[in-house]
Structure 1
Amino acid sequence: MAETGEFELIGAITSGLPTSPAVRVGPGDDCAVFAVDGDVAVSTDTMVENVHFRRAWSSPNDVGRKAVAAAVSDLEAMGARPVGLVMALTVPSDLDATWVSEFSFGVREECANAGVLLLGGDTTRGRDITATATVFGDLQGRPPVTRAGARPGDVVAVCGRLGWAAAGLTVLNRGFRSPRAVVVAHRVPEPPYGQGIVAQQAGATAMIDCSDGLLADLAHLARASGVAIDVETSALDVAEPQSVVAAAVGGGDPLTFVLSGGDDHALLATFAEDSVPDGWRVIGRVLPGEPAVTVDGAQWESDAGWRHFQ
């Protein structure tokens, strides 16, 4: 990277990027400029080497895709249509330039999957690789779906996978690379793109991106809404690869991956019981009471999910 230089790097990353009529000014100026039809939703997500990914486990393409997916999932959780993304990338000066090229290919690939345009960003030198994605979404005149609207009598539903990435992380931490399905899920999440708007249009009363774990993120929603939530384990899906991993690491309960594993970026939302859209699965209920999350009516005694500073 010391030989490539900042401006050559930026030129390589932004060359030939797709655009749209909504983009008034694209990469290459001091700011990007774009037009929207309503309120703008904005979110920022940072990934740090050896905290969110390891180069020994994830390819540069994987890291680029994951950086985009994690950020855009927050727009989905508000019911916004993804519009634009800017990326700030920090890399060591002795990093091979091909790593950055492959990372940028991953960013482009996931932007295409998510329906968001890469509008620019920044590069700088640092000890570790960090990637910060800031995303902008258009609410198109619709009200945002926040975490604060769940009501007693609503049901809790999920769209997307739960606990796959956690099972993959468990495998990788033990030096293995299989089952491949969960390892890939850790490297590159698969948010249910487009389902945030589907949920909003179906009347979702509250919604959140599931990044820290099912119980942890439902606890955020319960506190914001001032309600209690009970999760029904009979409605949760434990996949065969998760059971394989649990058995291989000492016979633990694979349900732990589903309840507390993060990084899958599924969507969690609450709905009136008769308005849950296709593609969503009911997994619990909203109850009156002090904000809390229970599992089959009882407190969950194990870890509830990821805590960033512990």
Structure 2
Amino acid sequence: MTSSRTPQPGPRLSDISEERLLREILPVLPSGPAVLLGPGDDTALVRARTGAVLATTDAMVRGRDWLDEWSTAEDVGRKLVAQNAADIAAMGGHTTALLVTLVADPQTPVAWARDMARGLGAAAAEAGVAVVGGDLSSAPAGTLMVSVTALGDADTAPVLRSGARVGDQVAVSGTLGWSAAGLLLLQRDSAESGPDQVTWHRRPRPAYDQGPAAAAHGATAMLDISDGLVRDAGRIASASGVAVELQGSLLRDDVDALTPVVGDDARACVLTGGEEHSLLACFPEGELPAGWRRIGDVRTGVGVRVDGAAVAGGGWDHFERPAESEEPPPLHQE
């Protein structure tokens, strides 16, 4: 592994107080119109415009969710926003506020914490989301973890995973397999072969507005692709009591786009690659909203099929050891 990262100079967290660290990071975190009271008191106060609140949380742990050799602190901050805001979007909602927790070895450079906050703040500002508070804690040597809790609201009833119906179209908004391809290139020490995919792996940029747009268009089920197309389509299938039939011909462009970058691994990236955070949804027959494309249909049965062949697993599971022989079926070629 060739690393382009060097140890950050300057003071460590153990050299400063919590108050000084907060003075370093709070100025780079945005506020917003939903915030009635921001950082500084025991809690923030955030307006719940619709009388109900969507809430989600996601954490990143160094050595599990990122490596310092491959991702900067700003990358980590930006990715955390994407992971959480995509979850809110997948319910048909708009993210309104974030709470951030940093758990760190006292020997962590202050510059790392500041740069993470800068990346998180920039991504939040781009998404129109406020950062309203959080928590700090020390940790054993080598430990570094950042967690974000996101709050949001929705103009419609939330779109669940359990509403898909036989005859619905299965559609995606966004890329497929780019993050997995970027990770594969980093593992191969050949990031220059696919800079766009590597950037997407480090700093995904989901189209958050497509979640509310899908809900307004009548989406029956939706989630974001965080653990791979097959695994996440399987979650819709299981929750809805249906089968999801993916069509290889409708995924061919995705595979062809990645083949020059990762070769024969393109198919696996598209079907099982995680951390994409594109949105996957089911819609009744008819015209799809702008920004969405059909990749399959909802059928009777169980599980996920690709061109009629049952497929399961793939993607990422925090506590599951994947079977080495697990291999997605070949895509149908027209």
Q: Return the TM-score normalized by structure 2.
A: 0.87
Which of residues 248, 260, 270 is equivalent to 2:282? 270
- 1:17 CA drift (Å): 4.1
Which of residues 96, 110, 118 is equivalent to 2:123? 110
Q: How does 1:221-236 map to 2 (within 5 A)?
A: 221-236=236-251
Cα deviation code 1:121-159 (max 9, x no counterpart): 11111131111100000123x210000000000000000
CA distance in 2, matches of 1:257, 1:264: 10
Which of residues 173, 176, 185 is equivalent to 1:171? 185
What amino acid maps onto 1:134 in structure 2?
T
Distance 1:294 1:239, change over 3 A: closer
What amino acid maps onto 2:43 in structure 1?
C
2:208 maps to what in 1? 193
What amino acid maps onto 2:295 in structure 1?
I
Which of residues 58, 83, 102 is equivalent to 1:89? 102
In 1, are the aligned partners of 2:177 and 2:273 still within 8 Å (CA)?
yes
- 1:239 CA drift (Å): 5.7
Which of residues 208, 217, 229 is equivalent to 1:202? 217
1:292 maps to what in 2? 303
2:5 maps to what in 1? none
What amino acid maps onto 1:132 in structure 2?
S
SS at match of 2:106: coil
Deviates more, 1:4-13 or 1:199-208: 4-13
CA distance in 1, matches of 2:319, 2:57: 18
2:328 maps to what in 1? none
SS at match of 1:73: helix
CA distance in 2, matches of 1:191, 1:296: 27
Which of residues 75, 81, 85 is equivalent to 1:62? 75
CA distance in 2, matches of 1:20, 1:133: 17
Cα deviation code 1:68-111 (max 9, x no counterpart): 11011100000111110000011211111111111111001110
Structure 1's unaligned 5+ residue stretches are none
Identity of aligned residues (%): 41
- 1:241 CA drift (Å): 6.0
1:122 maps to what in 2? 135
CA distance in 2, matches of 1:185, 1:103: 17
CA distance in 1, matches of 2:198, 2:163: 35
What amino acid maps onto 1:73 in structure 2?
A
CA distance in 2, matches of 1:34, 1:242: 42
2:170 maps to what in 1? 156
Cα deviation code 1:171-211 (max 9, x no counterpart): 11122322211111111111112110000000000000100
In 2, are the aligned partners of 1:69 and 1:114 still within 8 Å (CA)?
no
Residue 143 of structure 1 pairs with residue 157 of structure 2: yes
In 2, are the aligned partners of 1:182 and 1:241 still within 8 Å (CA)?
no
2:262 maps to what in 1? 246
1:132 maps to what in 2? 147
Task: List, as ranges, runs of 4+ consecutive aligned residues in structure 1 with deviation greater than 4 Å.
Answer: none
SS at match of 1:85: strand
- 1:22 CA drift (Å): 2.5
RMSD (Å) for aligned C-alpha atoms: 1.5
What amino acid maps onto 1:191 in structure 2?
P
1:305 maps to what in 2? 315
Aligned positions, number: 303
CA distance in 1, matches of 2:255, 2:102: 35
Which of residues 260, 273, 289 is equivalent to 1:261? 273
1:10 maps to what in 2? 22
